[in-house]
Amino acid sequence: MQKIGIGLAGFGTVGAGVFLNLQRNRLLLAGRIGMELSVQKIVVRDPAKVRAITLPPELLAKSWRELIDDPDIQIICELMGGIDDPLELILAAIQAGKIVVTGNKALLAEHGREIFAAAMKYRVPVFFEAAAAGGVPIIMAIREAFIANHIRSMHGIINGTCNYILTQMTERGIGFQEALAEAQASGYAEADPTLDINGWDAAHKAIILASLAYGFWVGTEQIFVEGIEQITADDIRFARELGYRIKLLAIIKGDESSGIEVRVHPALIPATHVLASVHGVFNAVAVQGDVVGETLFYGRGAGQDPTASAVISDLASAALAIQAPRSHFGFTPHALYGRCKTIDEIVSQYYLRIPVLDKPGVLAQVAGVLGALNIGISSVIQPEGTEGEAVPLVLMIHDATNAQMQAALREIRALAAVKAEPRLIRVESFSS
Ligand code: NAP
Ligand code: HSE
């Protein structure tokens, strides 16, 4: 049986999972693809590190260059994370004609254009199923299964760490830090969890999904990103009372005539919507295509085994591409869509919580500001307080642009009765 050599760069949560599962399901994989997937060399940052999963010493390489130079290695599997070293490794692998498999969404989001230009130039495929939604095969779906479709929208819960934190805060009432520590201990969070909670890990995935769907590599500067750091237990409670749940949502929408929108931010979604039932580390992406209609993908978006499943699927595709060379190298640009809308143009509904003094006339002042800017209120709640003390005034706002809402916020902040920074959270109604 033909042996396909793999150079594994990284033996952390994902890399070690790939190594273990390649061994565990060796016979099944060989039976399915007719080839043996064999790890020839492994590179890590700190060879002396004590590891939960044993790294066979005979496979240890001194640097990633050994992987490129080894003639028995045909596939480079990059699972190191970070930007500079992986970029150098991947470009060197492509130039050396070695197929690349990576789960590095940060790298692809920032350097996808350059990497896929090199892939096309040298006719070397780059596979990256693990770079969005972990074990959920969304990349393959967008690139292959939905090739006949204009993608009208994608709504995704695509950061397991944030979904885990928001779920624990909602269901167990625990604090943000405690929930984050649990997500880190489970191997869901990035090495630097700031990227999870500030929304940028989900944004990297959204960039990849939007780029595949709309045929141009979306720049990090073209999208709107907001994290979950400011979400409070009060917001979660008020959202519930109003019939919503709060999720970190990636919203990607496309239209050939007016451009596309790519944004990641916390959103109130109706408690009855299917995405409201996506709990814990689970991810889900609802995709609407003009031909297929509505579809839904669901599964574990992070962690050792689910991510290894995606990476090994890519390794199998890479091995098959060695047998039968492909003319698709991972991403093919086209010019049917061309522009990302700015956040100021984007229309949404909103939840607005304003800490105000509980005294007559305050609601009228706030409503006056909104009305003057042509912004409609759909409902109001204000828990009873003691007159003269600060209470939260919660308003649900009809469709308005971000520009309108920012203008309103500037005026609301200046009102004497407003005692602290108002909190604006977008509401997604999934209308189009
Ligand atoms: P990790 O646990 O931090 O592991 C990183 C591995 O890469 C470690 O073995 C580390 O060596 C090695 N490494 C880092 N820099 C290196 C360098 N310059 N040269 C050689 N080796 C280096 O990370 P991970 O969670 O496995 O994630 C790996 C990649 O998969 C990232 O791009 C991540 O975004 C992506 N991803 C992760 C998940 C997940 O659930 N964790 C899901 C999807 C995608 P040491 O072991 O010696 O430190
Ligand atoms: N830190 C990421 C998450 C890992 O929590 O979703 C999977 O990409």
Q: Would you state the pLDDT for residue 387?
A: 67
Q: What is the mean pLDDT of residues 387-399?
A: 89
Residue 62 exposed, middle or buried by CB count within 10 Å (0-12, 13-18, 19+) = exposed
Strands (E), 131-210: 151-157
| Consecutive H or E run containing 264 | strand 259-270
Closest-lying ligand 2 atom to the alpha carbon of residue 131 = 8
Q: Is the pLDDT of residue 355 over 70?
A: yes
The predicted-structure confidence for 68-112, as pLDDT tens digits, reads as follows 999 999 999 999 999 999 999 999 999 999 999 999 999 999 999
Task: For 62-129, give the DSSP string.
Answer: SSHHHHHH-TT--EEEE---SSHHHHHHHHHHHHTT-EEEE--HHHHHHHHHHHHHHHHHHT--EE-G
Pocket probe mutation, ligand 1, options 41, 43, 45, 195, max atoms within 8 Å of Cβ? 45
Q: Is the pLDDT of residue 431 over 80?
A: no
| Alpha carbon separation from 145 to 141, 255, 287 (Å, rounded) | 5, 20, 12
**DSSP codes joined into one string, 303-332:** SHHHHHHHHHHHHHHHHHHHHS--S--S--
Determine the Cα–Cα distance for residues 24 and 204; give it in Å rounded to an integer.
Answer: 31
Tally of CB atoms within 10 A around 69:
14
Helices assigned H by DSSP within 266-303: none
Q: How far is the CA of 165 from the centre of ligand 2 (A)?
A: 12
- Report the 10 Å Cβ neighbour count for 55: 17
**Residue 432 confidence (pLDDT) above 70:** no
pLDDT at 37: 98
Distance 220 CA to ligand 2 centre (A): 18
Residue 134's region, left for phi above 0, alpha for psi from -120 to 50, else beta, is left
Question: For residue 31, which phi and psi values (nearest 5 degrees)?
Answer: -65, -35
Q: Is the pLDDT of residue 280 over 80?
A: yes
Q: Which residues line ligand 1 (CB under 6 A)?
A: 10-15, 43-46, 49, 79-82, 85, 103-105, 130, 134, 187-188, 190-191, 302-303, 307
Residue with tokens 């190298």: 329
Please determine, for residue 64, whether its predicted confidence score (pLDDT) is greater than 80: yes
pLDDT at 239 over 70: yes
For ligand 1, atom 15, name the residue with the nearest CA. Answer: 80
For the CA of 159, the closest atom of ligand 2 is: 6
- Which of 120, 98, 118, 138 has the alpha carbon at shortest distance from 318? 98
Residue 35 has a pLDDT of 97
Query: How far is the centre of ligand 2, averaged over its atoms, from the C-alpha of 201 (Å)?
Result: 7
pLDDT of residue 22: 98
The mean pLDDT of 324-342, rounded to a whole number, is 89
Distance 51 CA to ligand 1 centre (A): 13
Q: What is the pLDDT of residues 103-145, one digit of tens each?
A: 999 999 999 999 999 999 999 999 999 999 999 999 999 999 9
| pLDDT of 165 strictly over 90 | yes
Apex 311 CA angle, 155 and 262, nearest 5:
25
205 assigned to active site: yes
Rounded mean pLDDT, 188-197: 88
Residue 405 has pLDDT above 80, yes or no: yes
Ligand nearest to the CA of 180: 2
Give residue 262's pLDDT band: very low, low, confident or very high (50, 70, 90): very high
Q: Is residue 386 scored above 70 in pLDDT? A: no
Question: Could you tell me the distance, in angstroms and rounded to a whole number, from the CA of residue 57 to the centre of ligand 1?
Answer: 19
Report the pocket of ligand 2 as residue ranges, CB < 6 Å: 134, 159-161, 188-190, 196, 201, 301-302
276 has a pLDDT exceeding 70 = yes
Give me the chain's average pLDDT, please: 95
pLDDT of residue 92: 98
As a whole number, mean pLDDT of residues 137-156 equals 97
Atom nearest to 193 CA in ligand 2: 1
**In the predicted model, what is the mean pLDDT of residues 195-209?**
97
pLDDT mean over 46-50: 95
Atom of ligand 1 nearest to the CA of 107: 32
Percent over 90 (pLDDT), the chain? 86
Work out the pLDDT band at 326, boundaries 50, 70, 90. confident
Task: Please tell me the number of the ligand nearest to residue 304's CA.
Answer: 1
The pTM of the full predicted model, rounded to 2 decimals, is: 0.96
Probe residue for ligand 2, chosen from 158, 159, 197 as the CB with the greatest number of ligand atoms within 8 Å: 159
Cα of 210 to ligand 2 centre, how many Å? 18
What pLDDT does residue 174 have?
Answer: 86
Q: What angle do CA 207, 210, 215 make, to 5 degrees?
A: 115
